[in-house]
Amino acid sequence: MAAPAVEATVATALRSVILRARKAAEQVGRDPERVRVLAVSKTKPVSLIRQIYDAGHRCFGENYVQEIIDKAPQLPEDIEWHFVGHLQSNKAKTLLTGVPNLAMVHGVDGEKVANHLDRAVSTLGRHPLKVLVQVNTSGEVSKSGIEPSSVVELARHVKQHCPNLVFSGLMTIGMPDYTSTPENFRTLSNCRADVCKALGMAEDRFELSMGMSGDFELAIEMGSTNVRVGSTIFGPREYPKKAT
């Protein structure tokens, strides 16, 4: 159980992030309501997530399948869960079965995982699932995501051949240290323009998931509709120590 002082700090941090996000949107003439702040709670206890929920927030992100399927049943059903980590195709059905209120998967990086998600949605009889195609904007081989030159092809596959998925936009992580640069964000924006032109989609209804704790304001100024903020809200990650 988290200490009350920690919980109060988390709620205060959330309010600060939301205000900063609104200000960033307003500075460039964007509607703040079009920017979703995802509280990314990986490695954090259910008690802290509940504190954020009790403060009125409903949008949460998790990176690991096992973690989200452990946490989701312990929390209210009106939470809007986003899976923001790398998803292996063989975990697609496990994820959807364990989290009935999953709203969006941000990391579709190939036809195989898209097809597995599509079949899982059909098998479970749940409503269509929103997905974002993940783009490798840094060119680093260590990062998941497809090359910008392949984005239109994968987006078209999801839109035309996965009837149980709703292709909703694009996502990027950025650099190897999980920071991003204006070039990363610009690349994703350019990919959005290419996809919208090729598939006849309106750019103003197209989702971009980019920006984390260190750069979410810049990401919003450059068009992000989803910012994934973890440590600025919850504090540093506390990973289990490996046995020696």
| pLDDT at res. 237 | 72
| pLDDT at res. 239 | 58
Contact 40, 62 (CB under 8 A): yes
pLDDT-based confidence at residue 14 (cuts at 50, 70, 90): very high
Contact 80, 101 (CB under 8 A): yes
SS3 5: helix
Residue 191 φ/ψ, nearest 5 degrees:
-60, -40
User: How is residue 133 annotated by DSSP?
Assistant: E
pLDDT digits (tens, 9 = 90+) for 61-79: 999 999 999 999 999 999 9
What's the total number of domains in the chain?
Answer: 1
Question: DSSP string of 49-92?
Answer: HHHHHHTT--EEEES-HHHHHHHGGGS-TT-EEEE-S---GGGH
Give the Å distances, CA to CA, from 75 to 53, 60, 80, 243.
9, 11, 11, 31
Mean pLDDT to the nearest integer, 227-232: 95
| pLDDT at res. 1 | 46
| pLDDT at res. 176 | 59
pLDDT at 139 over 90: no
pLDDT at 4 over 70: no
Q: Give the integer Cα–Cα distance in Å for 169 and 158.
A: 11
- Is 38 inside any structural domain? yes
pLDDT-based confidence at residue 232 (cuts at 50, 70, 90): very high
Q: Give the integer Cα–Cα distance in Å for 57 and 80.
A: 9
pLDDT at 13 over 60: yes
- Is 160 inside any structural domain? yes
| pLDDT at res. 144 | 80
**CATH number for the domain that contains residue 78:** 3.20.20.10
- Is 224 inside any structural domain? yes
Q: What is the mean pLDDT of the chain?
A: 92
Range of the domain at 123: 6-229
pLDDT at 117 over 70: yes
pLDDT digits (tens, 9 = 90+) for 173-228: 876 566 667 899 999 999 999 999 999 999 999 999 999 999 999 999 999 999 99
Mean pLDDT to the nearest integer, 110-120: 98
pLDDT at 43 over 60: yes
| pLDDT at res. 114 | 98
| pLDDT at res. 16 | 97
- Is 239 inside any structural domain? no
Contact 106, 63 (CB under 8 A): no
pLDDT digits (tens, 9 = 90+) for 21-30: 999 999 999 9
Mean pLDDT to the nearest integer, 45-72: 97
- Is 1 inside any structural domain? no
What is the enclosing helix (H) or strand (E) of 40?
A: strand 36-40
Contact 117, 105 (CB under 8 A): yes
Contact 120, 96 (CB under 8 A): yes
